[in-house]
Structure 1
Amino acid sequence: MRFFLSLSLLFLSALAIAQAPSVFALEARAGESLNYEMDLNAGAPITDLSWAWNSSNACFVEPRKQYFTGNHVLFKTEIPTYSTMVIRLVPTDPSQNMSIYAYSGGGGALPPALASCVSCEADFYQDRPSRTRPNPDHTRSVELRAVTRPYPVTIGVVGADGLAEGTFTLEITVTKNR
């Protein structure tokens, strides 16, 4: 019985490690736009997405989970005080459907272990025009703000509908508000 329990725990640990996406450190500087090129194959799927529609995060709603089922590539950076950070995702191949989310705060936690964050924004495919995006295309964009103190920022680039590979450019622009 003990051997079976140990083997089961070893298997579950290996499964958790196999599904942990890589995290890449980025430097975002106020007053600059920086571009980073990457491939979704550097990430891994996150099968438990319930953290995103938890009311303490409110990143995206459960009916939109199909847009976040592929590989997740995670990036860490920081937003300085009195700043706005605009993060733009541009897939190299416009036919590849990718999504993006970014959250500030979170105490260093990564999905799916993110219990709460200061703010979280997500952008994914929209087949109809909206007030904020009159002409939907293959690019995605989110925006975060910091006021009186800096916050750690985690950015997730994700393949929609199980997409596991595809190159993209991540553009980060930080502007000071004061």
Structure 2
Amino acid sequence: MERRPGKAGFSLLELLVVVVIVSILAAILLPRFGTTIDKTRVARAEQELRSLHLAFSRVYFDTNYYPSEVLHASDVGLVNKRFVPANLLELWDGPYLERWPESGHPWGGRYVYRHRPKREFNFDNSLGNEVWVEMRGGALTRRILNIIDKQMDDGRSGDGLILHDGGNTLYYFLGEGPNWGNQNKPR
């Protein structure tokens, strides 16, 4: 095709070559960008889990009890005293966290505190006093759960301090002991 004087522009072939080159670059760079985002999310989740573990350990050290469960994914007495029984307020030396991660974990789900029987975490042969945090829901995948398990524990989904199921829930063991609702029971 002949170009006319004064008519600047690109031919269809030139535009096609540019589109192909941009597509190839996108195919190469997008997976790397996604991996970087995953690494950042994993690091944030691991930091949040460690912070929760430390906070629960500190409240147990101060009061000799773990907090009782609440019905929703919110502060259980680590940030403010609203769930702390009156007779333990003097021992409570918090706040143990700046804020409860109510916005949830990096994949859009939430953290849920549990204090109930879980055989897999029964290390003291006293079933019923197991304490853990769940990362549940959102866009968690088995691959992400395996990465977190490998970096924070033993890398095996069925045992250790981190467990996860075939779905999108991770269970992180915090400890064993009575909760605030069991204060009058012998220890």
Structure 1 length-normalised TM: 0.30
Instruction: Mark the structure with the bigger radius of gyration.
Output: 2
Higher relative contact order (Cα pairs below 8 Å, separated by 6+ residues): 1
